[in-house]
A and B are shown apart, each in its own frame.
Chain A
Amino acid sequence: MSAVAVRDLTVDLDRTSILHGVSCEAGSGGWLALIGPNGAGKTTLLRAVAGLVPYRGEVLLDGVGTGSLSGRDRARLIAYVPQEPVLPPDMTVAEYVLLGRTPYIRFLGGPGRSDREAADRAAGRLGVARFSGRRLASLSGGERKRVVLARALAQEPKVMLLDEPTASLDIGHQQQVLDLIDELRTTGGLTVLSTLHDLTTAGQYASQLMLLHEGRIEAAGTAAEVLTEERIGRVYAAHVCVTTGADGTIVTPLRERG
């Protein structure tokens, strides 16, 4: 049984159809990367799974529909990291990571010892514990990403939804963040659903790719199956060269000559 399954998902926003009957799934510990040109519906698919936009169809976790879950119950199962998270500038790293425990804290209660421990564990795993007293405004781009991931991990979710986790990071920090995510899923049994704009890294890290185009599935499968020159050329209107080697399927943009 898949950890996450999306069945026949259709989303209309402002009377515009964004997703048309999309189905996909990811097994426990899997990483499904959503790729596709801008406006293909990748972010909307993540937001629908997170329960942030109304949809028709089904989102199943371990075979159980999420439609009837309360916000709190859903938050204990699914964590969502938007492309540009709002980071209150004066909040400290420790305070921010502890917010991930919100779905476990009773309305009139405060965070208990188990909450602080879970937050500390998450901060430790992402290597942000040593600057836990710093204000969010003082962090670098790479540190911010790790802090936001620690907040999501503190939710102890089964599924993590990551919208462009490497956006605005340099190539070294991209690899660092992707390696961290990979480690979380392979050692922690976390299932990852992410959008990734870089096709080569998507193929290198994700176990499955799904190419969306104008709200429909264009192709799904392994990197070798999905990333073909003809398909990328057509869907993205791009000129690329695809090579396969020891490091996976490499998509190289070509400068058009002519």
Chain B
Amino acid sequence: MNASPRRTVAAYLIAAAFLVAAMGVSALVGAADLNPWAILSALLHLPSSLDPLDRAVLFQIRLPRIVLGAMVGGLLAVAGAGYQGVFRNPLVDSGMLGASAGAGLGATIAIVYLPGIGPAAVPVAAFAGSLGGVAVAYLAGTAGGPGTATLLLAGVAVSMFLTAVQTYVQQRSASDLQQVYSWLLGSLSGATWQQALEILPYSAVSVAIVLLHGRQLDVLSVGDDEARTLGVHPGRIRLIVIAACALAAASAVAVSGLIGFVGIVVPHIVRRLAGTSYQLVLPLSFLAGAGFLVLADTLARTVLSPAELPIGVVTALVGSPVFIWILRSTRSVRT
């Protein structure tokens, strides 16, 4: 409703083109040198010059990693944009509500205490920890009455507490330090189709719920009192959207570890280009976030090749300066 219909269509086309381009670049770049035409014809089930090894690289290594990266990026960006709408603050992200710290604690416990079960337990524990962290922050933050500032501060306090517990658990077992750290910094190496399928239901449900609340989030932007006199229930919307965002972020964290800044940087750039209505910001953030993370992952696996840089390092290197830029260009921050 912000821009003219033509501008809205243009915004969707640009975001979609960005995602497709990012995926294309990522499919081409890597240790194995694959021919673009051969990739394209293989994807279209046409006769292709790819030999079986290249074919395996494309279909079992690169493509699942691209698809999983796109899902994770889209989920993180939508969760960030959703939280920003709920809290009327463009600087809020999943990490501030106990989601990341909760996931970190869950994953660390799984790595340290459940080594026998193996890597399968880590995503489940991270998923549960992420949801648990947000739930604790939400309960702690709303007990004193409504208000977004209280909830955010409770999120920060809960995050610090969970991080302290996580550090304690991690330091007790020095032998697991490297595994814990590599998880904490985020990575998509070893991505499989199986992982993408596992988080698909949670991703679909959570993203759908958040996207359906775009108009409500626009109404919330005039403040709780006025939203109520417009017939909207701010508390109910906040609970539903926070729960959906928590589910989205937890799904992402479960397969990728902690990847910061996507939820802040992507929605902000979308707002700059397409306006501030959440009816546009949410879906565009999904597309742009997917493209952004696919590109970031391409960098992560190529700059130090054959070694890999944790993807969280790449997003932080890009994200921190952008965060400062947002801070300096934000007219007024209301919580």
Binary interface encoding of chain A residues 79-119 relative to chain B, with 1 for a CB under 8 A from any of its CBs, else 0: 11010011111111011101110110100101100000000
Chain A, 198-234, CB within 8 A of any chain B CB: none
* Interface status of B332 (Cβ within 8 A of chain A): yes
Residues of B within 8 A of A56 (CB): none
B222 CB contact (under 8 Å) in A52, A88, A103: A88
| A50, A87, A95, A111 — most chain B CB neighbours (10 Å) | A95
Chain B, 203-251, CB within 8 A of any chain A CB: 212, 215, 218-219, 221-223, 225-226, 228-233
10 A-B pairs closest in CB distance: A75-B231, A72-B231, A86-B223, A103-B231, A80-B229, A102-B230, A90-B276, A88-B221, A71-B231, A86-B222
Judge whether A52 and B225 touch: CB under 8 Å: yes
Judge whether A80 and B271 touch: CB under 8 Å: no
In Å, the complex CA distance between A94 and B218 comes to 13
In Å, the complex CA distance between A65 and B334 comes to 36
* Interface status of A137 (Cβ within 8 A of chain B): yes
Residues of A within 8 A of B8 (CB): none
Judge whether B229 and A111 touch: CB under 8 Å: no
CB B327 to nearest CB in A, in angstroms, measures: 15
Residues of A within 8 A of B332 (CB): 89
CB B278 to nearest CB in A, in angstroms, measures: 11
* Interface status of B2 (Cβ within 8 A of chain A): yes
Binary interface encoding of chain A residues 172-206 relative to chain B, with 1 for a CB under 8 A from any of its CBs, else 0: 00000000000000000000000000000000000
A71 CB contact (under 8 Å) in B88, B232, B271: B232
Judge whether A103 and B218 touch: CB under 8 Å: no
Judge whether B229 and A86 touch: CB under 8 Å: no
Residues of B within 8 A of A90 (CB): 271, 275-276
In Å, the complex CA distance between A96 and B233 comes to 18
Residues of A within 8 A of B223 (CB): 85-86
Residues of A within 8 A of B233 (CB): 71
Residue pairs across A and B with CB atoms within 8 Å: the count is 77
Judge whether B331 and A99 touch: CB under 8 Å: no
* Interface status of B1 (Cβ within 8 A of chain A): yes
* Interface status of A74 (Cβ within 8 A of chain B): yes
Binary interface encoding of chain B residues 42-75 relative to chain A, with 1 for a CB under 8 A from any of its CBs, else 0: 0000000000000000000000000000000000
B232 CB contact (under 8 Å) in A88, A95, A102, A137: A102
Q: How large is the interface on A (under 10, 10 to 19, 20 to 34, 35 or more residues)?
A: 35 or more
CB A86 to nearest CB in B, in angstroms, measures: 4
In Å, the complex CA distance between A50 and B228 comes to 9
Q: A95-B2, A99-B219 are in contact. Are A88 and B276 (CB under 8 A)?
A: yes
Judge whether B226 and A80 touch: CB under 8 Å: yes
Binary interface encoding of chain A residues 55-87 relative to chain B, with 1 for a CB under 8 A from any of its CBs, else 0: 000000000000000111111101110100111
Judge whether A85 and B226 touch: CB under 8 Å: yes
Judge whether A86 and B230 touch: CB under 8 Å: no
Judge whether B231 and A82 touch: CB under 8 Å: no
Q: A90-B275, A105-B215 are in contact. Are A75 and B221 (CB under 8 A)?
A: no
A82 CB contact (under 8 Å) in B221, B225, B275, B331: B225
Residues of B within 8 A of A47 (CB): 225
Judge whether A50 and B229 touch: CB under 8 Å: yes
In Å, the complex CA distance between A95 and B229 comes to 17
| A47, A73, A88, A137 — most chain B CB neighbours (10 Å) | A88
Residues of B within 8 A of A72 (CB): 231
Q: Which residue of A lies closest to B219 (CB)?
A: A102
Q: Which residue of B lies closest to A82 (CB)?
A: B225
* Interface status of A27 (Cβ within 8 A of chain B): no
Residues of A within 8 A of B215 (CB): 105, 110
Residues of A within 8 A of B276 (CB): 88, 90-91
Residues of A within 8 A of B221 (CB): 86, 88, 91
In Å, the complex CA distance between A47 and B225 comes to 9
Q: List 15 A-B contacts (CB under 8 A).
A: A52-B229, A73-B231, A79-B229, A80-B225, A80-B229, A85-B226, A86-B222, A87-B222, A88-B88, A90-B271, A90-B275, A99-B219, A105-B215, A110-B215, A111-B1
